[in-house]
Structure 1
Amino acid sequence: MPVLQTDQAGFLLDGHPFRILSGGLHYFRVHPDQWQDRLRKARLMGLNTVETYVPWNLHQPRPDRFVMDAGLDLPRFLDLAAAEGLHVLLRPGPYICAEWEGGGIPSWLLAEPDIRLRTRDPRFLAAVDDYFERLLTPLRPYLASQGGPVLAVQVENEYGAYGDDTAYMECIADSLRRCGVDVPLFTCDQPVDLERGALPGVLATANFGSRSAHHLADLRAQRPEGPLMTSEFWIGWFDRWGARHVVRDPQEAAHELDELLATGASVNFYMFHGGTNFGFTNGANDKHTYRPTVTSYDYDSPLDEAGDPTAKYTAFRDVIAKYAPVPDEPVPAPGPKLAVPAVALTESARLLPSAAALATAVESRRPLTMEELEQDFGFVLYETPLPLAGPALLEIEQVRDRAQVFVDGQPVGVLERENHEHALAFTVPRAGSVLSVLVENQGRVNYGEGIHDRKGLLGKVLLDGVELAGWTQRALTLTELDGVPFAATTTVPVGPAFHRGAFEVSDPADTFLHLDGWTKGNAWVNGFPLGRYWSRGPQASLYVPAPVLRAGTNEIVVLELHAGPRTRTVSLRETPDLGPTEE
């Protein structure tokens, strides 16, 4: 493929003027068997480029382990993009934000108690160098300079909203160059942060979702020469638990796009196709109050969560056609959908008694954090004996993020970080009763200083003012559920429990799992982690990709943390429910 260059006015590709028409498509938020479909639909909308972040925390889950296969097979994704004739903008971080767990920075770095992320802390920079070497060495053939699809690579991500240490940014850029990145580099920042996050000699781009001409004029005033580009043209938004589903009027967004393209600028939609925060991968925000992001990353994008074109797809395609060739093919039709009216979950297993089969016990004087347990996602079950019987006040210095408290297996209350809760009163039935605290990591903060977000029980745990010592903890990552001792039962278990059922499928297709009457938890289909559900909404269904299903018998497992319906049934429907909307 030709190499991207810049001149005083804009981009050049193979010496000819070139406008980047790109859309965000995160391979790690899409089932790998669906990558080709989503890329084809990007081309059919008129895009010539796709953009993707790279999640460091998934690719390098431990310092000595690097993963680049299956759903993280980035080389395969790049091959598929090239096969569609699409270029790629690569955004490897190390920090990506993306409403992704910890902004993509691996949790094992937080095992260092005083580490400063996104700074020139030598420990952080050494880890970044190692990550880039492991990631970029196999990606060198995919750079445009080597005939591959990657036109340009981003340095860090919206750094101006975090700091102003140009020397740090130079360290990141130098690390990329040492790893063989010889295509253009670029930075991206919101307009007010542009100077703080810019890097001399590197293309600066702006992120915004409205007033396109105004923001691009500001960018031109700060950068009199070179290409104009928005690396994140916000055409939708993400959702958080307890709020409404955010949507944006397609025609209003298309008008903004028209205004942007009329200036001659290049664009990357954020997002073209949002996808899903499968499993435990959603991030959170914390601006004095912790707010976790939902499972769906639909983002009100041109392609919805199931990859079907929306009204925004057609509206954007019509605008793009005014400025660039669009394939003479019809807008793709929605894919087939599957419905199974009721699936009975006839087998159950209580979580607390099952914990010993799921994780090894670790003993310590004080509660250990997830990072100290070398745990990324999931839950920690903390247990300790209580010395005295009678009324008691439990105080926990920091709950990260949601703690369900039990005495001898019976629930006595919940403490939520989101509500700034730290204390709980209950009665201890006898000396030696076991205090169990099930703590859920609801998503590490992905923006601002809050990215230093350690999980579990932090600080002291007091009972009637006296520190509790002598803890057992089990790291419940729930990556494998084979150890769960399911048994048929006609009664609904008390407290957190797994529930399992089966359903038949003749022709696998996309579907949506609805959990009417269930309260909070996680779900898996055939061992694939669909993500979290929560009755507080707005999201009230979970996307099930067609490749997860198989012809014949399929298994569904639900971990309900509180109480499900007496019938213990779920349903698979043809349509999602992302909640009441907010424009």
Structure 2
Amino acid sequence: MTTFTIGDTDFLLDGEPYQILSGAIHYFRVHPDQWADRIHKARLMGLNTIETYVSWNTHEPVRGEWDSTGWNDLGRFLDLVAAEGMHAIVRPGPYICAEWANGGLPTWLTTDTSLGLRSSEPGFVREITRFLENIYEIVTPRQIDRGGNVILVQIENEYGAYGADKAYLEELVRVTRAAGITVPLTTVDQPQPDMLRNGSLPGVLHLTGSFGSRASERLATLREFQPTGPLMCSEFWDGWFDWWGSNHHTTSPEVAAQDLDDMLAAGASVNFYMFHGGTNFGLMNGANDKGRYSAITTSYDYDAPLDEAGNPNAKFWAFREVIAKYAPVPDEVPADPTAAPILEVPLEATGDWLAPLVREIQTTEAPATFEQLGQDGALVLYAADAPAGLFAVDEVRDLAWASVDGTPVGRMSRREHEHTIALPSAGRLELLVEDQGRINYASRIGEHKGLIGVPTVDGAALTGWTATPIDVTAVAASVLEAAPAPAAAAYSGTVGLRASFTLDAASDLFLDTDGFGKGYAFINGFFLGRYWQNGPQRTLFVPGPATRAGENTVVIVELENVTIPSVRFLASAELGYLED
């Protein structure tokens, strides 16, 4: 039986010192047909381990409807890691942050305001126990002491930055051990005294750190709170994420390589966050709000050593060179990337996709939230009869387009702290509200979406609301089947567009969204994600397995305007301006 344990100064593999050289790949951010390729390239950089979070909200989007197939086949992902001769680290949370919608927690869970999130409150513990037992059914038989490759399991995630409920951590340990997990258990926190103190159970959980610079200093702080055993940076932030309305974030390969060298020279183990970031396909991007709401982009390239399309960049080679000083690195190297097909075909409009939708007839005094409607999608259409005057609402979460009797009258943005709009005339007020991404960090996790509070016009309550949840995927399907509309040089408002194009073979593509306003894109029914002219991201990554030889279809569900009515595919990604 192979063993993996924690010694006085090192991790021990069958009793011998072992330095973990790990990289993060989130199976839920990568097309399953491309998992093996990304894992193989991690080994070629010199890594011996793959780490992944587990996303509860993709495994169980509806309470009681558990899914571990396809994109959610964690077992297959771990088996592919093993087939590459690599170990695995699993971080099931249940909270994962990860710039992922709701920090990985299902919306049906956070809708229940009686649950004390990330605490020992009994109702929350009951739900997470059920989730963890489902995950551990997959992980337990794949542990290294049972012939598998899983060497570590993490408890919670940067909990010291959120709370200090030791009973909660103890309960997570109890459930984990009761489910048959026997490998060492770890925690991760930023190396700040309060966080390390709050997020740990000394003698029970092995502390690791998360940081992206000043490695020697951070490891010294970690050592104060983890006086024995191996040091590990289990989130070495080798890049950073992007959010809409900002620039594309990159970091220096040379500086990151030096920090890596410092860690490995000190004997520390490391997990690159990320080795390969992947993509927030569909509507799964998260958001942050530290006084200003910022929704994460569809791309999760992260400026990681393997880019969004799975190609090595300068960091890959810089890190490989450093790793070669401390561990064997394969002679094989990844093949040079090839340019994606360049195409342009005209888009055919199918008219206003919003107009034919059947409106809900149930009325409420105040607008129902997305959660009250059971809406886990991006859009809800609210409507009420309104007089002329100044419309106001406590908060818009997150973006609202207003019209009166079908005539646009303005927009309100949460990011800009806008919550009023002038209504020039009386009539039927409609507000199309978009959830731009669920908060993934700190105390606002689980917040409700929609129009928050009782709206007023000139200070008087506006009641009698209807609310129509909109399924974006169903809208895309209807656009594909709808009759064509008259062609135009540009289109305004909620318009559907489609096109067909031909490929000689299935291929990764980069869909250019320049000329589109804001909306959602689909290839052959596969939901690529959101686009927005607000940037920085200009292209959407299309994974090759979503395409096919012969005819392919693209559907655009637009919310604002289209100034270039054609669909173009570029040779490589365009992720936006860099910071000066």
Question: TM (normalized to structure 1)?
Answer: 0.95
Q: Give, as a single letter, the amino acid of the residue that structure 1 aligns with 2:332.
A: E
Specify the alignment match of 1:486 in structure 2: 482
Does residue 401 of structure 1 match 2:398? Answer: yes
Q: Output aligned runs, 1:104-503, within 5 Å.
A: 104-192=104-192, 193-200=195-202, 201-335=204-338, 337-340=340-343, 342-356=344-358, 363-386=363-386, 388=387, 391-428=388-425, 430=426, 433-480=427-474, 481-484=476-479, 486-489=482-485, 490-491=487-488, 492-503=490-501
Does residue 556 of structure 1 match 2:550? Answer: no
Does residue 82 of structure 1 match 2:85? Answer: no
Specify the alignment match of 1:535 in structure 2: 533
Name which of 533, 556, 572 aligns with 1:575.
Answer: 572
Kindly state the Cα deviation for residue 214 of structure 1 after the two structures are TM-superposed: 1.3
- Cα displacement string for residues 232-283 of structure 1 (whole angstroms, at most 9, x for unaligned residues): 0011000111111111111111111111100000000000000001111111
Q: Give, as a single letter, the amino acid of the residue that structure 2 aligns with 1:473.
A: A
| Alpha-carbon distance in structure 1 between the residues aligned to 2:412 and 2:483 | 30
State whether residues 524 and 546 of structure 2, in contact with CA within 8 Å, keep that contact through their aligned partners in structure 1: yes
| Alpha-carbon distance in structure 1 between the residues aligned to 2:554 and 2:216 | 50
SS at match of 1:483: helix
| Alpha-carbon distance in structure 2 between the residues aligned to 1:3 and 1:544 | 41
Kindly state the Cα deviation for residue 362 of structure 1 after the two structures are TM-superposed: 5.2
SS at match of 1:556: strand
Of 94-103 and 404-413, more deviation after overlay is shown by: 404-413
SS at match of 1:382: strand
Of 504-513 and 459-468, more deviation after overlay is shown by: 459-468
| Alpha-carbon distance in structure 2 between the residues aligned to 1:33 and 1:361 | 44
Of 136-145 and 264-273, more deviation after overlay is shown by: 136-145
State whether residues 298 and 304 of structure 1, in contact with CA within 8 Å, keep that contact through their aligned partners in structure 2: yes
Q: Give, as a single letter, the amino acid of the residue that structure 1 aligns with 2:482.
A: F
State whether residues 110 and 371 of structure 1, in contact with CA within 8 Å, keep that contact through their aligned partners in structure 2: no
SS at match of 2:33: helix
Q: Give, as a single letter, the amino acid of the residue that structure 2 aligns with 1:351.
A: W
Kindly state the Cα deviation for residue 494 of structure 1 after the two structures are TM-superposed: 3.9
Structure 1 residues 557, 362: closer, same or farther in 2, change over 3 A? farther
Kindly state the Cα deviation for residue 336 of structure 1 after the two structures are TM-superposed: 5.2
Kindly state the Cα deviation for residue 372 of structure 1 after the two structures are TM-superposed: 1.5
| Alpha-carbon distance in structure 1 between the residues aligned to 2:190 and 2:502 | 49
Q: Output aligned runs, 1:65-80, within 5 Å.
A: 65-80=65-80
Structure 1 residues 138, 253: closer, same or farther in 2, change over 3 A? closer
Kindly state the Cα deviation for residue 363 of structure 1 after the two structures are TM-superposed: 4.3
Kindly state the Cα deviation for residue 178 of structure 1 after the two structures are TM-superposed: 2.1
SS at match of 1:487: coil
| Alpha-carbon distance in structure 2 between the residues aligned to 1:73 and 1:353 | 39
- Cα displacement string for residues 365-409 of structure 1 (whole angstroms, at most 9, x for unaligned residues): 3211111122223111112223x4xx3211112211111111122
Total equivalences in the alignment: 573
Structure 1 residues 360, 60: closer, same or farther in 2, change over 3 A? farther
Q: Give, as a single letter, the amino acid of the residue that structure 1 aligns with 2:47.
A: L
Q: Give, as a single letter, the amino acid of the residue that structure 2 aligns with 1:197.
A: G
> For structure 1, which runs of at least 5 residues remain unmatched after alignment?
none
Does residue 4 of structure 1 match 2:7? Answer: no
State whether residues 314 and 331 of structure 1, in contact with CA within 8 Å, keep that contact through their aligned partners in structure 2: no
| Alpha-carbon distance in structure 2 between the residues aligned to 1:286 and 1:446 | 9
SS at match of 1:194: helix
State whether residues 523 and 559 of structure 1, in contact with CA within 8 Å, keep that contact through their aligned partners in structure 2: yes
Question: TM (normalized to structure 2)?
Answer: 0.96
State whether residues 352 and 409 of structure 1, in contact with CA within 8 Å, keep that contact through their aligned partners in structure 2: no
Kindly state the Cα deviation for residue 335 of structure 1 after the two structures are TM-superposed: 4.5
| Alpha-carbon distance in structure 1 between the residues aligned to 2:319 and 2:109 | 41
| Alpha-carbon distance in structure 2 between the residues aligned to 1:267 and 1:333 | 27
| Alpha-carbon distance in structure 2 between the residues aligned to 1:365 and 1:17 | 66
Specify the alignment match of 1:57 in structure 2: 57
SS at match of 1:89: strand
Percent identity over paired residues? 48
- Cα displacement string for residues 190-211 of structure 1 (whole angstroms, at most 9, x for unaligned residues): 0011111112221000111111
| Alpha-carbon distance in structure 1 between the residues aligned to 2:423 and 2:63 | 42
| Alpha-carbon distance in structure 2 between the residues aligned to 1:439 and 1:144 | 48
Specify the alignment match of 2:37 in structure 1: 37
Cα RMSD over matched residues? 1.6
Q: Give, as a single letter, the amino acid of the residue that structure 2 aligns with 1:477.
A: D
> For structure 2, which runs of at least 5 residues remain unmatched after alignment?
none
Q: Output aligned runs, 1:499-518, within 5 Å.
A: 499-518=497-516
Kindly state the Cα deviation for residue 468 of structure 1 after the two structures are TM-superposed: 2.3
Of 510-519 and 467-476, more deviation after overlay is shown by: 467-476
Kindly state the Cα deviation for residue 220 of structure 1 after the two structures are TM-superposed: 1.5
Structure 1 residues 70, 361: closer, same or farther in 2, change over 3 A? farther
